[in-house]
Amino acid sequence: MKIILASKSPRRKQLMNILNIPYSIIPSTIDESTISSNGKSPSYYCQLLASMKSAELSSQHPDAIIIGGDTIVVIDERIIEKPKNTIEAITMLKALSGKTHQVYTGISIQCKSKNIECTFSEKTSVTFHDLLGKDIIYYVNSYLPFDKAGGYGIQDW
């Protein structure tokens, strides 16, 4: 049975490669910016986004197993999305500096022809040391974290 990763995330691709299972990548075209997080719990919100990504591809490839995912960052009960620009990325990292925040990852595994839909999330607490302004600027300029919730990828540090 064909497995499709509904993501263009390099990190998710790395994780799939570790499993050493053949798969294809077909990124979802869901526009996450049109889905509001207002009034939604972080767990529900990341599961909703992951499920929407999987559902989109599951309808196009009904006999394949589709794996969709989404990650969000939460600090002080506020969901932090992906930064739109350098200023937002720097602001996000300054807000996370010296604090503990939560990272939620939602995963949705779907196969339309087999009537399979399994969606779940996991929460991890992450604590940052105090970050120097020059280190934040270096990170943002070097790693361009505009496709990462909270403006960072833990694997980059």
Q: Which one of the listed residues 31, 70, 76, 135 is annotated catalytic?
A: 70
Predicted confidence (pLDDT) per residue in 117-140, tens digit: 999 999 999 999 999 999 999 999
Strands 116-127 and 100-111: antiparallel
Residue 82: DSSP 8-state: -
Question: Does residue 157 carry a pLDDT above 70?
Answer: no
Predicted confidence (pLDDT) per residue in 91-117, tens digit: 999 999 999 999 999 999 999 999 999
Strands 78-80 and 65-75: antiparallel
Active site residue 130: no
Distance CA 152, CA 48 (A): 22
Predicted confidence (pLDDT) per residue in 19-38, tens digit: 999 999 999 999 988 999 99
Distance CA 86, CA 131 (A): 16
Distance CA 97, CA 35 (A): 27
Percent of the chain with pLDDT over 70: 99
pTM: 0.92
